[in-house]
Amino acid sequence: MPDAAAPNRGVDRMLVRLEHLDKLLNLAGEVIITSSTLHELQRDMSDAVTHRRPMTDGNLQIIKSADEASARISQDLHDLVMAIRMVEIGETFKLFRRPVRDLARNLKKEIELKFEGEKVLVDKALAERLVEPVLHMLRNAADHGLETPMERLHDGKNETGIILLKAAEHEHETEIVVSDDGRGIDEQKISDRARKLGLVRFGEQPSLLQILCMSGFSTKEKATDTSGRGVGLDLVNNMVAEFNGTIELETSPKQGTTIRLRIPKLKAVNIIDALIVRCNETLYALAIDQVVSLQGIKSDQIQASMDRERFIKYLGTPLALFDLSELLGSEPTKLDNPEVVPIVIIEGKKEKIACIVSEFLAPSKLVNVPLAKDMFNRDVTGIAGTCIISGGRVGMTVDINTTVAKAVGEPLAVDEGHDDAASFTEESVSSPAPVRHDAVEFGASMPSSTATKHSQDELIAKSKLSAQRDRIAARMEETSQKDLTDTDISDLLTELSRGLMELQDTLLTLENDKDAELMKEAFRRLHAAKGNFTMLGVSASANLAHNLETLLDHVRKDRIEMSQELMDIMLDGVGELNTATKILPQTVPGDNAALLDRIGAVMQTLNRDQPVTDPDQLLGTSFTLVPAVELQLLGALKQGAQAYETFIRFTPGRQAEFLVAYLTLRKLCYHGTILATLPSIADIENGHCGTAMKVLWASPLKPEELKAAIDRWASLFNIAEHQSMPTTVFRYDANAEI
């Protein structure tokens, strides 16, 4: 029986509202008062028994009041814990903005992702489990659902496709909707594709949703980075089934597709309504909502066949019969009366089976305690945990889904754990593979050599962890910082992860809204991240944060534009920083050379874009030509022209420098072809010009003829100094093959 409310092993903390803590403190006070009352009552009753005095009405009233108080406090505590676990679904929705943006760019489509119902509260376990399935649905909508801009315009639609991610709260369930306004689904095409893949046999007529949820189904002939592996809706279906929910599909040609996930609200934290059964001397708890029927049948009604070892008839249909105790790895069940066999029929995700037990006991409300690793020295597949049954007896909680799958030979689901939601959405950044956790590991079931290797690996891992923490501590000492405890490091990393996720969301909003306050917020969060990484002594991450902060500062000061390329660098950088928070302190991140090169290229472009106006700096600056200009120069040289670099300095203050520079360039055009200038012609036209300029051009004039020509009109253009030099950097070889 999967425990949907079980805590995610990958997440060990969450924010708690102060009002909830206040209520918790009040309930703790009531528990103390009730405990004190029961203690006094126990002392009075012991004294009454010792002296053989009868119970008074006052004692009975105290017992009644304590019982009522205990029941109320238990219910209030349960409701409070459920409220604490609730989070706004909007925090999960934000995680999808970056992946959808990247999908739009990769697919060359215009996509707008809209959210509705961001304030809907859901259990944190559900919020975390929704991330991967919803991402698969968004990928399908972007890749398969939405058309290209050209297709949309041809069909009379806006070129920007809309994907709506919506949450709605109903009385007993939460609804998650992913819809698009794309091309819809061609049911006939889907059916034909499923038959071609061998997923649908001749004569079968599965529904469209059933086909789409089949493992291995894809409309793509070849898998891509976006889709085509046949795991999308199958994964969604498994997640929804885990929470006992349902999937609904609506599609219309050229109108779009809508997928609705309806998931029942969690009503308890590890609390189950269970039927108690006994097999030999062991008590087992079966979730009542998965118990179909209880029967006592005569032994001669049990039948056998070639393909089924044993079966019974239930409502006219054969049903496989198993021994519950044997399925759970214990001794065969002994019957109190061999002539009448107690049988419980249970239902897993896909099948029903019948199980032999020794005795049915009363239904009860229980608290399930999940199993810890290495709790047993044998395979207990099918056991979800332990529970305390009335009377102080200990029982085992049965995972019915796993037990049924084991009985009918279905592949058992492996609990691989789930990383923090933030890390999953950073897949466009080269993130490390998530650490996998097995639900239960049993050393006795492994060969001794494997178990030994397991322990050796564990020792090596612990040794590496210790060494890496020592390195962090050493870095801390080098920077004259205080030593950090493990708790300090954990708190810093948690703060960093949360801040970086908020920074990513701010950047994505900033891409479409150049708001000054958003810019300040992003800059402030980057500055905080740099400070925290510096405190941890992680120089590579601190340096990366500093470089990103510098880029953002240039954007703030309008030195560079927040282009898509620059936004990609910023988002990839934040993703790299977020990855660092996932691997620290076990692994100290190093420099991402490729990302730093991309940042360096932007900075070089920024430096080149600053107009060079100082005369001395102009003399030492070289020209860089694009291929088209090089061809233009090659043509001029072939016609017999000479390439020159000409330096011209103007008399300052007499006329606007940019104006005389522009007029001088026009005059030079009469004597040759201008190829490049420093400052650039665009900078000169925009007024970004000092008292000098440098020109690369091709002219048929000889050096002495060129000097004489400029001397003739130099005074008219305020030219105080000029010097022309034939350049051999750009030359034409008449003997070279073209």
Take residue 260 and report the two structure tokens written for it: 């609705």
pLDDT at 455 over 50: no
Contact 440, 562 (CB under 8 A): no
Considering only residues 286 and 235, tell me which one the structure prediction assigns the higher pLDDT: 286
Give backbone dihedrals phi and psi of 84, rounded to 5 degrees, phi first: -65, -35
Token code pair at residue 314 = 């239930």
Note the pLDDT of residue 179: 95
Distance of CA 664 to the CA centre of its chain: 59
Kindly state the tokens that stand for 665: 């360039």
3-state secondary structure at position 659: helix
pLDDT tens digits, one per residue of 137-171 = 998 899 889 998 888 988 899 989 999 999 999 88
Q: What's the pLDDT tens digit per position in 288-308? A: 888 999 988 888 888 876 555
Q: Is 259 left (phi over 0), alpha (psi -120 to 50) or beta?
A: beta
With a CB cutoff of 8 Å and minimum separation 6, the contacts of 649 are 615, 691, 692, 719, 720, 721, 722
Q: pLDDT at residue 316 above 90?
A: no
Domain residue spans of the chain: 18-85, 88-264, 273-408, 486-609, 615-726
CATH node for 615-726: 3.30.70.1110
Average pLDDT over residues 694-713: 90
Joined together, the tokens standing for residue 174 give 């939460």
Residue 730: the pLDDT is 53
Say if residue 679 is preceded by a cis peptide, omega within 30 of 0.
yes
Mean per-residue pLDDT, 173-178: 93
For residue 18, give both structure tokens. 């102060």
Question: 315-322: long-range contacts at Cβ-Cβ below 8 A with a sequence spacing of 24 or more?
Answer: 319/345, 319/352, 319/353, 319/354, 320/353, 320/354, 320/407, 320/408, 321/353, 321/354, 321/355, 321/356, 322/353, 322/354, 322/355, 322/356, 322/407
pLDDT at 77: 81
The answer on pLDDT for 253 being more than 50 is yes
Most confident of 23-27, 276-280, 437-441: 276-280
With 0-12 CB in 10 A as exposed, 13-18 as middle and 19+ as buried, what is 673?
middle
Between 557 and 640, residue with greater pLDDT: 640
Say whether pLDDT at 669 is over 50: yes
What is the pTM (predicted TM-score) of this model?
Answer: 0.56
Q: Are 45 and 233 in contact (CB under 8 A)?
A: no
Interatomic CA distance for residues 539 and 318, integer angstroms: 67
Q: Are 374 and 438 in contact (CB under 8 A)?
A: no
Q: What average pLDDT does the structure give for the chain?
A: 78
Query: Of the ranges 265-274, 460-469, 585-594, which one carries the lowest mean pLDDT score?
Result: 460-469
How far apart are alpha carbons 113 and 475 in whole angstroms?
43
pLDDT computed for residue 270 by the predictor: 67
- The reply to whether domains 273-408 and 486-609 share a CATH topology is no
Of 41-45, 258-262, 506-510, 551-555, the least confident: 41-45
Q: What percent of the chain has pLDDT over 70?
A: 80
pLDDT at position 48, please?
A: 75
Structure tokens at 419: 């990383």
Greatest mean pLDDT among 51-55, 113-117, 212-216, 732-736 lies in: 113-117
How far apart CA 540 and CA 546 sit, in angstroms, is 10
Do residues 20 and 258 make contact, with C-beta atoms less than 8 angstroms apart?
no
Q: Report the distance separating Cα 719 and Cα 278, nearest Å.
A: 107
Dihedral sign, CA of 284, 288, 290, 296?
positive
Q: Name the CATH topology of 88-264.
A: Heat Shock Protein 90 (3.30.565)
Angle of the 486-512 helix axis to the 97-107 helix axis, nearest 10: 50
Helix/strand/coil (H/E/C) assignment for every residue in 76-141: HHHHHHHHHHEEEHHHHHHHHHHHHHHHHHHHCCEEEEEEECCCCEEEHHHHHHCHHHHHHHHHHH
How are beta strands 692-699 and 642-650 bridged, if at all? antiparallel
pLDDT at site 205: 77
Residues 435-463: what's their mean pLDDT? 37
The type of residue at 125 is A
Q: What is the pLDDT of residue 264?
A: 87
Lowest mean pLDDT of 63-67, 100-104, 262-266, 624-628, name the range. 624-628
Amino acid 160: pLDDT:
92
- Angstrom distance (rounded) from CA 475 to CA 467: 12
How do residues 366-398 score in pLDDT, each as one tens digit? Answer: 877 777 655 555 567 788 888 888 767 888 899
> Taking residues 456-477, what's their average pLDDT?
49
For residue range 403-417, list pLDDT tens digits in order: 898 888 765 554 444
Instruction: State the CATH class of domain 273-408.
Output: mainly beta
Q: How far apart are CA 95 and CA 135, in angstroms?
A: 9
Give the rounded percent of residues in the chain with a pLDDT score beyond 90: 14
For the cut 90, the answer to whether the pLDDT of residue 116 exceeds it is yes
The sign one gets for the Cα dihedral 60, 61, 64, 67 is negative
Residue 120 has pLDDT above 80, yes or no: yes
Report residue 276's pLDDT band, with 50, 70 and 90 as the boundaries.
very high
Rounded to the nearest 10°, the torsion over CA 315, 316, 319, 323 is: 70
Residue in the block written with tokens 């900075």: 603
Which residue in this structure is represented by tokens 């779009």? Answer: 256
**Mean pLDDT, to the nearest integer, of 3-27?**
63
Among positive and negative, which fits the CA dihedral 639, 641, 642, 646?
A: negative
The average pLDDT across 265-293 equals 84
Compute the distance between CA of residue 138 and CA of residue 99 in angstroms, rounded to an integer.
Answer: 9
- Sign of CA pseudo-dihedral 559, 571, 494, 488: negative
Q: How confident is the model at residue 684 (pLDDT cuts 50, 70, 90)?
A: confident
- What integer pLDDT is reported at residue 613 of this predicted model? 65
Fold of 486-609: Four Helix Bundle (Hemerythrin (Met), subunit A) (1.20.120)
pLDDT at 1 over 70: no
